Structure 1
């Protein structure tokens, strides 16, 4: 949805969950000398200010990054580098995490349809391969060398109720283009439990399901965060089912 802006949720517990797993995945894949192609469907702006009016309005970061212990997490080193460069209230989105962890021989392909978010992403990651288009179409239209490891992050806003089923329907198409890709699918856990239909539909493709629970906004918002993992590399461990 073009009305969605991730800045309201930056650094929240769901963000930390997603980014901890992403950084852990990249750490494992970087052990191989094979280049990595990183692709993302809903990139956002890439860099956030936790002192902004948007994050102050929701205060989700106070329940996430403010209380997380990242001392032993790969994400902790990325966050320290970002804050050394941009200040203590800076927080990296997934594109910035990937950009800081990837090597010269690796590449990125980022899709972001929202015009303001795309402009901000262009400013925050100059020189990155950005596409202002539907993320799923972008994935299916982007080819990567067969010799590369491929990592795909799918993390829509799910503001539209049908997005869960939409994601499940798109995954086989994406695998047609990237059959050996490792795919991370993030989803929010709400009381309505709409994510269960998506999880059930993808259960054969993504047997690895990692979820955490939390009490956000006195139970009026998300009750947890989930990640499905398709084709994880050997040695990948998503970690304990709680915030670090």
Structure 2
């Protein structure tokens, strides 16, 4: 149940989709001089090496960020976070969503809370986030979110990015998000999900709409990273998306569909 490690998949097209949209969201929200909370339930290790044997074995980063990065405007907040990470950690470094959040948030102004249950990933996350002002929890992330929500400050983002290696996640996460939404009705709740050839996301998105009828679904389809790979797209379900997010999501969908 704790076997998943994202190092094999870091920098793939699903990461590009979710991280670019997250970076845009945080840039939009921090443009206002009001503090916010960022909570992430499945944080991973935070920092990845795209030159590692794991990344090279799958080739997903080569088919992902390596091809997509030149298509972004250099001023995009996603590329700014990528550049800052590589300036600090080397040319093959890749930021997970915790580092993207840390880059987008304002030190001493915003609150950053992260959960990771996998022991090795938690240790790596703690090292990656040292000095970033983050609270890092070794616990079930949805339990942490239930305990923290509604947070202080109340304005903020919840990022839920599970591996879905526990198949029950497809059924349990919509209910958990619905509970959090009822406690934190002003929060921007974000859930990433994979689009696979056999369609397990169909029941997930139906359950999300049942729990939260107003939830927005932003999906991007792309060519599999290698023959036989089951993932053919990436989805971001967002409750309370800010103005302009649908347009940004549409731009990302067009960008990724062209690769």
TM-score, normalised to structure 2's length? 0.89
Q: Is the 8 A contact 1:45 1:118 kept in 2?
A: yes
Q: Deviations over 1:19-47 (max 9, x none)?
A: 01100111111111111100001000100
Extract unaligned runs of 5+ from structure 2.
none
SS in 2 for 1:138: helix
Which residue of structure 2 lines up, in the alignment, with residue 191 of structure 1?
A: 197
Which residue of structure 2 lines up, in the alignment, with residue 212 of structure 1?
A: 221
Extract unaligned runs of 5+ from structure 1.
none
Tell me the distance in 2 between the aligned counterparts of 1:198 and 1:6. Answer: 22
Q: Is the 8 A contact 1:8 1:57 kept in 2?
A: yes
SS in 2 for 1:79: helix
Runs of at least 4 residues off by over 4 Å: none
Are the structure 2 counterparts of residues 23 and 61 from structure 1 closer, same or farther at C-alpha, using a change threshold of 3 Å? same
Which residue of structure 1 lines up, in the alignment, with residue 234 of structure 2?
A: 225
TM-score, normalised to structure 1's length? 0.94
Which residue of structure 2 lines up, in the alignment, with residue 92 of structure 1?
A: 95
Q: Is the 8 A contact 2:154 2:187 kept in 1?
A: no
Q: Is the 8 A contact 1:9 1:61 kept in 2?
A: yes
SS in 2 for 1:229: strand
Tell me the distance in 2 between the aligned counterparts of 1:184 and 1:101. Answer: 16
1:123 paired to 2:135: no
Q: Which of the two has greater helix per residue?
A: 2
Tell me the distance in 1 between the aligned counterparts of 2:137 and 2:121. Answer: 12
Q: Is the 8 A contact 1:188 1:226 kept in 2?
A: yes
Q: RMSD over aligned Cα, in angstroms?
A: 1.5
Which residue of structure 2 lines up, in the alignment, with residue 9 of structure 1?
A: 9
Tell me the distance in 1 between the aligned counterparts of 2:234 and 2:244. Answer: 23
Q: Deviations over 1:84-118 (max 9, x none)?
A: 11110000000000001100200101010001000
Tell me the distance in 2 between the aligned counterparts of 1:230 and 1:219. Answer: 33
Give how far 1:243 is off: 4.0
Q: Is the 8 A contact 1:136 1:174 kept in 2?
A: no
